[in-house]
Structure 1
Amino acid sequence: MRLDKIDLNLFIVFEVIYREGNLTKSANVLNITQPAVSNALSRLRKTFDDQLFNRTADGMKPTPFAQNLIGPVREALWVLNNGVIDNDSFIPETAKRLVRISMSDLSSALVLPKLVPALRQLAPGIVLETQTINRDLVIDELSSSNLEFSIEAPVLMDQRLYHAPLISDSFVCVVRNGHPALSEPFTLENYLSLDHIHTSSRPSGTGHIDAALHSIGEKRKIKARMQNYLVAPKLVMETDLALTIPRRLAQVFDLTIIELPFSVPDYGLHLYWHKSKDADPGHKWMREMLLKSCEEDR
Structure 2
Amino acid sequence: MPDGNSTVLELHHLRVLDVLLREHSLTRAAQVLHVTQPALSKTLARLRRYFDDPLFVRVSHRMEPTPKALELAAPVAGILEKMRTLRTEHVPFDPKLSARTFNFCVVDAGLIKLLPPLVERVLNEAPRVRLNVMQLDGQHLEPWLESGTVDFAMGSFPSLVKGVRRQPLWMEEYVSVVNRGHPRLTATPTLKEFAAERHVLVSTLGVGHAHLQVERSLEQAIPPDNIICRVPIFIAAAVVAKHTDAVATIPLSIANTLAADLNLEVIRTPLKLPKIEIFQYWHDRFHREPGNKWIRSVFQSLFRKRS
- Pairwise CA distance, 1:107: 2.0
- C-alpha deviations, 1:153-212, integer Å up to 9, x for none? 2223342322222342101111122223345851111111111111123489x9433422
Structure 1 contact 213–219 (Cα < 8 Å) conserved: no
Structure 2 contact 185–194 (Cα < 8 Å) conserved: no
Provide closer, same or farther for how the CA distance between residues 219 and 296 of structure 1 changes in structure 2, counting only shifts above 3 A: farther
- Pairwise CA distance, 1:132: 0.7
Q: Amino acid of the residue matched to residue 101 of structure 1? A: F
How many residue pairs get matched? 274
Q: Which residue of 2 aligns with 1:277?
A: 286
Segments of 5+ residues of structure 2 without an aligned counterpart are 1-10, 27-37
Between stretches 242-251 and 96-105, larger displacement belongs to 96-105
Q: Which residue of 1 aligns with 2:111?
A: 108
Give the whole-Å Cα distance in 2 for the aligned partners of 1:22 and 1:231. 28
Q: Does 1:34 align with 2:48?
A: yes
The 5-angstrom pairing of residues 1-298 of structure 1 reads: 12=14, 15=18, 18-19=21-22, 28-29=42-43, 32=46, 34-38=48-52, 55=57, 57=59, 58-61=62-65, 66=70, 74=77, 77-83=80-86, 85=88, 89-183=92-186, 185-202=188-205, 207-213=212-218, 219=223, 221-252=226-257, 253-254=259-260, 255-296=264-305
Give the whole-Å Cα distance in 1 for the aligned partners of 2:218 and 2:197. 14
Give the whole-Å Cα distance in 2 for the aligned partners of 1:249 and 1:194. 22
Structure 1 contact 171–267 (Cα < 8 Å) conserved: no
Q: Amino acid of the residue matched to residue 183 of structure 2? A: P
- Pairwise CA distance, 1:240: 1.5
- Pairwise CA distance, 1:103: 2.1
Once superposed, what is the RMSD of the aligned Cα atoms? Answer: 3.8
- Pairwise CA distance, 1:119: 0.6
Give the whole-Å Cα distance in 2 for the aligned partners of 1:274 and 1:75. 17
- C-alpha deviations, 1:246-289, integer Å up to 9, x for none? 01111112322222222111134332222211111111000111
Segments of 5+ residues of structure 1 without an aligned counterpart are 1-8, 42-52
Structure 1 contact 17–26 (Cα < 8 Å) conserved: no
- Pairwise CA distance, 1:111: 1.5
- C-alpha deviations, 1:53-96, integer Å up to 9, x for none? 78553433377x959x9589636633433317558811111111
Structure 2 contact 188–270 (Cα < 8 Å) conserved: no
Give the whole-Å Cα distance in 2 for the aligned partners of 1:106 and 1:80. 35
Q: Amino acid of the residue matched to residue 251 of structure 1? A: N
Provide closer, same or farther for how the CA distance between residues 292 and 31 of structure 1 changes in structure 2, counting only shifts above 3 A: farther
